[in-house]
Structure 1
Amino acid sequence: MAVSGLDGSIGPVAHIHPPKIEYFDLDAKSNTDPKGQLRSVDEYRLTPTGLYMFRPLSGHPQISHFESWFLPKLNVRVTRQSWHPGHERDYDFYVDVVEITGVGSVWKTIDLYLDLIVRTGRSVTVLDTDELITAVQHNLITPERAQWALETTYSAVSGISAHGHDVVRWLTSSGCPTSWR
């Protein structure tokens, strides 16, 4: 199956999958990833505005560890990855548009497809719009949830851009200050 682009071109259909769900157990210091794999977490830090997580990626060929902030007020997960030498990427932050819920010591995220790549001081790029559209077309999410995801994305892009393409400045000005290792 292929889809027609705005320019009339035919391209492959986005990968079809339901929203990815993750669980973060603060007491057990664990993270259950979307595939159901239980991962050890080195650090959780709960603040009035969100949850910080630092997790190594033992055995990963490219990434040594990553750290994320889960910020319910902004509906985003902001991640900074640390790369093994020779595998660095040309971006500083990866931002996921997510629904965040926290009950007691267990937090849950539902990833609504849209992601942002931020090159501090240079640019912000939206990814995976095709996945969001495909999910709506296949009734994996409602049009209302897709609209919410798009509005969240627009707000984040606008905020990051208005702060010189600086995620940390945007988060601070939005009342969600962060600190990183």
Structure 2
Amino acid sequence: MQAAEPVKIERHDLRTREHHTNTGVRPVSVYREHAHGLYVAREFVAHPRIRHWQAHLLPDLGVVVCRYDFHGPREHDYYLDIATVTREGEVWSVHDHYLDLLVHDGIAAEIVDTDELLAAHRAGYVSAETCMDAVTAAHTVLSGLARARYDLHAWLATRGVTLEWQPDPVPA
């Protein structure tokens, strides 16, 4: 049985250019606000698998769309966090709802971490309503991706969203 973890809450402080996570505070190289949310890019220092991270926080869709630059072969094209994204002044907050989608662009997508959501619900970290909202949101995204033949950008276009990415940095 999966051990329960408290809800992960991340903060992005645009003023200080810092990403606050459950594992520490890290400098951010790029914050760029756009019509649909916030773009973030930062290095992953001393991480065994990941070199660089880019993400778009999309409050209206209830997702954070992540793109990782791995040290080795690409494990997936996009990683979507089901989350509540809010903003207060210069600080954006992400309340993770445990469920994630791995997108292999144009091929497939899968929901992961259902066990984490259920363990958190059993432990009282998330209400039944939040649990159901997360499941509904994840399945809505997965169904949309399936209709778009697992093309993330085609699905986002049906929602009126266009995202821009930086090229993956060249390894040192």
So what's the TM-score if we normalise by structure 2?
Answer: 0.93
One-letter amino acid of the structure 1 residue matched with residue 61 of structure 2? L
Q: Verify: 1:65 aligned to 2:80, yes or no.
A: no
One-letter amino acid of the structure 2 residue matched with residue 112 of structure 1? H
Equivalent residue runs for 1:135-146 within 5 Å: 135-146=120-131
Match of 1:99 in 2: 84
Match of 1:43 in 2: 30
Paired with 2:157 and 2:18, the residues of 1 have a C-alpha distance of 27
Displacement of 1:102 after TM fit? 0.4
Is the contact made by 1:116 and 1:127 (CA closer than 8 Å) also made in structure 2?
Answer: yes
Structure 1 gaps, min length 5: 1-12
Match of 2:169 in 1: none
Structure 2 gaps, min length 5: 167-172
Is the contact made by 1:70 and 1:76 (CA closer than 8 Å) also made in structure 2?
Answer: yes
So what's the TM-score if we normalise by structure 1?
Answer: 0.88
Paired with 1:95 and 1:26, the residues of 2 have a C-alpha distance of 22
Displacement of 1:61 after TM fit? 2.8
Q: Verify: 1:180 aligned to 2:165, yes or no.
A: yes
Is the contact made by 1:64 and 1:82 (CA closer than 8 Å) also made in structure 2?
Answer: yes
Displacement of 1:169 after TM fit? 1.6
Q: Verify: 1:23 aligned to 2:42, yes or no.
A: no
Residue range with higher mean Cα deviation, 167-176 or 63-72: 167-176
Paired with 1:119 and 1:173, the residues of 2 have a C-alpha distance of 19
Paired with 2:51 and 2:75, the residues of 1 have a C-alpha distance of 16
The number of residues matched between the two structures is 166
Paired with 1:50 and 1:159, the residues of 2 have a C-alpha distance of 20
Is the contact made by 1:172 and 1:178 (CA closer than 8 Å) also made in structure 2?
Answer: no
Q: Percent identity of the aligned residues?
A: 33
Is the contact made by 1:62 and 1:83 (CA closer than 8 Å) also made in structure 2?
Answer: yes
Paired with 1:151 and 1:107, the residues of 2 have a C-alpha distance of 23
Is the contact made by 1:71 and 1:176 (CA closer than 8 Å) also made in structure 2?
Answer: no
Match of 2:147 in 1: 162
Paired with 1:159 and 1:44, the residues of 2 have a C-alpha distance of 28
Match of 2:110 in 1: 125
One-letter amino acid of the structure 2 residue matched with residue 71 of structure 1? L
Paired with 1:160 and 1:103, the residues of 2 have a C-alpha distance of 30
Paired with 2:46 and 2:75, the residues of 1 have a C-alpha distance of 22
